[in-house]
């Protein structure tokens, strides 16, 4: 039964859009969207708006009465003094001061202070109060048709409820319950307590992003809404690790062939690198840039003069294991995952390291078995989990560091080596090193780049929900002008404000390409739309002759179905050697033009979301685009893999688009010449063919079209029985 409350003591927090009501016991009673009259909460759950978590019960009497474990104390009383809510909690004596800001579009909450009475912790040498976490906001929000986990928004066609951070320091989350979610915002001591805030938005769904934009403007946050409304984020990307002043003209040529309006330069295009990410952090210019930044500026100008927007792809949280940050003395700001204290002095020739802590569970992956003591890195072969605890088979001076003596009691630990190749280490986000690296990246970006890909974003120390977005943000806020958009390899709540491009999927091989497009990006795209965000369906490799026009047609059309772009990774040698490069690039050019024109209707997008039915984008007799479904004739020429053919119907005719996958040949078809038209493009000049003993022989090379009045079954049969000459 729902608890009865004294209505006269209810506290009402409201604006023009919604009204939040809670009792003086701090339990929320209602969250009403005023324009529609919809109740947004599940009532009767007795969930307080605020709570405090301590590592253990602390006050002496409480400590004696309750178990020593992490304990959460619910708020059980609240009073309002102007914009201040004075909140008390069960059992513990101190109070919290939460300041509220009732704007027209959202209501802000931030932790201003704690009220501690002088006698509460008298005689204890400490800085009261003992708080591990403060829950600034928790609401049992009714389930709606959609829930965007990244933005933390529950919405349907009418109303949206959003709890979001107003700074990088709040932890935003939700917990699923039966029929509702507890949507919450926390301030965490090890990150920041006082001053941490969150905003509550309840609006019509159509107006949600306007409200989020107001939060971004009022709190001086990155403009995530503005970025998402910029058409640039739907441009596909031409990616390269080899664009430099010598090669840039070739890359511009191929990018324009594919209609690409954005070019993403991997940092190795500009800076020296070895063995994966081994030099990352140095940011020393390649020899192709004898004048350093001036050469880079001129190259970027050339790219922009060609009508292409340049972006940079960096690994902002990685430090190379051959960089100056590691050798000859490992920087004190490299991240250490697990700490150990030397139980015996360590001489520079010792191969056994005695430690106080049990190393059980310590990483044993190849290339990751590295300890850091002082400025020395030490590789270990194994360890003992029985006293005396020790690491054995140690190689001193690993990664060209200087072996040295280390004193008894020195604290070191396991170096946080990246799991991706083991050629780099993650930096410690609690130090100045991320800002130092950010300065180097910003200096480069500010020479003319306009967007960023934050790769390796998962490479931070815990808590990931804070450090992953904040590591990106520490770079982002130094970039001038602000990027048009950014993408990243990992995300958490706060990065919604600048990762307006979401993530990009890694490379799929030609033989599995369509299957993986359906399995991964096509599966995520509708989920990401719940966060009012698109994803990138790339990155796509280019193989000669494995990559074929229909593969990229399938992938880029599925992406367009969800208003998403793709990324193609250049391979100049494959571009030059692949006989169908022009056809593949023409596929991309058409779809990029369609994106730019916003040509697709919602009905067409819905058709493209059917992953079982492939489509082709044609240029018809009127030189207009035309989208039709088509199907592969899988046994063309008896299943010969050198020929690909797809059949479709239009304007009362059956048509086949066909090509040779790796060169040129002739295809003998059992067809009557009177019923056949061959064209390079629909409505274009005829392609000549010859009459053979068994029908016709057609040239088989680039992508062409065969049109006929014959039935679909007869046409399929003719291609299946065709002979390759």
**CATH-assigned architecture of domain 7-221:** Distorted Sandwich (2.70)
pLDDT in the model for residue 66: 85
Q: Report the share of the chain in percent with pLDDT over 70.
A: 99
Are 185 and 108 in contact, with CB atoms under 8 Å apart?
A: no
List C-alpha distances in Å: 319 to 325, 454, 528: 7, 14, 31
What DSSP string runs through 462-487? Answer: SPHHHHHHHHHHHHHTT-SSPPSEEE
pLDDT in the model for residue 1: 26
Average pLDDT for 37-63: 91
The model's confidence at residue 3, banded by pLDDT at 50, 70 and 90, is very low
- Please name the residue that has the structure tokens 């592969």: 632
617-647 per-residue burial string, b: 16 or more CB within 10 A, e: under 16? bbeeeeeebebeebeebeebbeeeebbbbbb
Average pLDDT for 356-383: 97
Angstrom distance (rounded) from CA 21 to CA 39? 11
pLDDT in the model for residue 559: 97
Average pLDDT for 12-23: 97
The CATH number that domain 628-724 falls under is: 2.60.40.1180
Fold of 233-240+267-319+428-497: TIM Barrel (3.20.20)
The model's confidence at residue 4, banded by pLDDT at 50, 70 and 90, is very low
50: Cβ contacts below 8 Å, ≥ 6 apart: 26, 74, 75, 78, 87, 89, 96, 98, 134, 135, 136, 137, 138
Average pLDDT for 425-448: 98
Tens digit of each residue's pLDDT (9 = 90 or more) over 199-239: 999 999 999 999 999 999 999 999 999 999 999 999 999 99
Q: Is the pLDDT of residue 2 over 50?
A: no
pLDDT in the model for residue 202: 98
pLDDT in the model for residue 504: 78
Tens digit of each residue's pLDDT (9 = 90 or more) over 617-639: 999 999 999 999 999 999 999 99
Average pLDDT for 144-170: 97
pLDDT in the model for residue 538: 87
pTM here?
0.94
Average pLDDT for 164-169: 96
Q: Is the pLDDT of residue 184 over 50?
A: yes
Q: Round the average pLDDT of the chain to a whole number and report it.
A: 95
- Alpha-helix runs per DSSP H in 128-247: 208-218, 224-228
pLDDT in the model for residue 8: 53
pLDDT in the model for residue 125: 85
Average pLDDT for 118-129: 85
Tens digit of each residue's pLDDT (9 = 90 or more) over 325-348: 999 999 999 999 999 999 999 999
Structure tokens at 394: 């140690």
Angstrom distance (rounded) from CA 501 to CA 567? 12
Strands (DSSP E) contained in 223-332 are 237-240, 262-266, 309-315, 318-320
pLDDT in the model for residue 401: 98
Tens digit of each residue's pLDDT (9 = 90 or more) over 60-117: 778 888 888 999 999 999 999 999 999 999 999 999 999 999 999 999 999 999 999 8
Task: Compute the C-alpha angle 72/76/77, nearest 5°.
Answer: 140
Angstrom distance (rounded) from CA 114 to CA 117? 10
Q: Do strands 353-354 and 676-679 pair parallel, antiparallel, or not at all (unpaired)?
A: unpaired
Average pLDDT for 705-714: 94
What DSSP string runs through 574-591? Answer: HHHH-TTHHHHHHHHHHH
Question: Which residues face 159 on adjacent strands?
Answer: 204
Other beta carbons less than 10 A from residue 43's beta carbon: 16
């Amino acid at each position: 039964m729902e608890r009865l409350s004294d209505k006269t003591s209810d506290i009402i927090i409201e604006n023009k859009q919604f009204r939040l009501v809670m009792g003086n016991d701090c339990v929320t009673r209602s969250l009403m969207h005023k324009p529609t009259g919809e109740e947004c909460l599940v009532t009767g759950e007795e969930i307080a708006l605020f709570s405090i978590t301590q590592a253990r019960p602390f006050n002496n009497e409480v400590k004696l009465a309750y178990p020593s474990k992490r304990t959460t104390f619910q708020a059980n009383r609240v009073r309002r003094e102007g914009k201040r809510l004075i909140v008390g909690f069960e059992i513990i004596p101190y109070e919290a001061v939460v300041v509220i800001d009732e704007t027209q579009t959202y209501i802000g909450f931030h932790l201003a202070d704690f009220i501690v009475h002088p006698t509460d912790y008298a005689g204890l040498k400490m800085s009261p109060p003992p708080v591990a976490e403060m829950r600034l906001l928790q609401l049992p929000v009714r389930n709606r048709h959609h829930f965007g986990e990244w933005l933390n928004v529950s919405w349907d066609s009418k109303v949206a409820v959003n709890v979001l951070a107003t700074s990088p320091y709040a932890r935003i989350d939700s917990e699923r319950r039966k029929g509702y979610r507890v949507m919450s915002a926390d301030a965490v001591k090890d990150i920041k307590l006082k001053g941490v805030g969150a905003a509550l938005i309840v609006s019509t769904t159509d107006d949600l992003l306007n409200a989020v934009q107001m939060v971004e403007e009022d709190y001086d946050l990155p403009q995530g809404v503005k970025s998402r409304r910029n058409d640039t984020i739907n441009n596909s990307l031409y990616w390269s690790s080899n664009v430099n002043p010598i090669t840039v003209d070739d890359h511009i040529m191929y990018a324009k062939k594919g209609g690409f309006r954005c070019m993403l330069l991997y940092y190795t295009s500009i800076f020296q690198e070895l063995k994966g990410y081994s030099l990352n952090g140095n940011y020393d210019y390649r020899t192709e840039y004898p004048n350093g930044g001036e050469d880079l500026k001129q190259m970027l100008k050339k790219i922009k003069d060609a009508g292409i927007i340049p972006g940079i792809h960096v690994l902002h949280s990685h430090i190379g294991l051959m960089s100056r940050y590691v050798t000859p003395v490992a920087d004190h700001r490299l991240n250490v995952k697990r700490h150990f204290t030397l139980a015996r002095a360590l001489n520079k020739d010792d191969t056994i390291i005695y430690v106080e802590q049990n190393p059980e569970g310590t990483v044993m992956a190849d290339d990751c078995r590295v300890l850091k003591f002082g400025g020395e890195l030490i590789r270990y072969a194994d360890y003992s989990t029985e006293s005396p605890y020790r690491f054995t088979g140690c190689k001193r001076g690993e990664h060209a560091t200087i072996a040295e003596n280390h004193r008894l009691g020195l604290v070191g630990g396991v170096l946080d080596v990246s799991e991706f190749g083991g050629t780099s280490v993650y930096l410690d986000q609690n130090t100045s090193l991320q800002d130092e690296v950010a300065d180097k990246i910003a200096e480069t970006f500010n020479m003319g780049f306009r967007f960023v890909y934050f790769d390796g974003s998962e490479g931070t120390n815990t808590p990931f929900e804070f450090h992953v977005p904040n590591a990106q943000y520490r770079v982002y806020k130094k970039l001038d002008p602000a990027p048009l958009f950014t993408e990243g390899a990992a995300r958490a709540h706060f990065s919604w404000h600048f990762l307006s491009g979401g993530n990009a999927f890694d490379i799929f091989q030609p033989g599995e390409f369509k299957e993986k497009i359906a399995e991964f990006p096509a599966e995520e795209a509708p989920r990401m739309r719940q966060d009012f965000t698109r994803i990138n369906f790339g990155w796509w490799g280019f193989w000669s002759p494995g990559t074929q026009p229909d593969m990229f047609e399938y992938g880029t059309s599925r992406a367009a179905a969800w208003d998403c772009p793709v990324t193609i990774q250049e391979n100049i040698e494959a571009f030059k050697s692949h006989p169908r490069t022009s056809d593949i690039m023409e596929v991309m050019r058409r779809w990029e033009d369609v994106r730019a024109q916003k040509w697709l209707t919602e009905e067409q997008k819905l058709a493209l979301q059917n992953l079982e039915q492939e489509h082709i984008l044609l240029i018809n007799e009127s030189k207009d685009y035309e989208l039709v479904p088509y199907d592969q004739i899988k046994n063309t020429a008896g299943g010969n893999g050198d020929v690909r053919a797809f059949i479709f119907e239009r304007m009362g005719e059956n048509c086949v688009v066909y090509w040779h996958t790796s060169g040129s040949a002739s295809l003998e078809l059992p067809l009557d010449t009177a019923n056949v038209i061959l064209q390079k493009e629909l409505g274009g000049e005829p392609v000549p063919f010859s009459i053979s003993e068994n029908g016709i022989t057609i040239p088989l090379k680039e992508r062409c079209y065969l049109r006929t009045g014959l039935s679909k079954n007869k046409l399929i049969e003719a291609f299946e029985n065709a002979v390759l000459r």
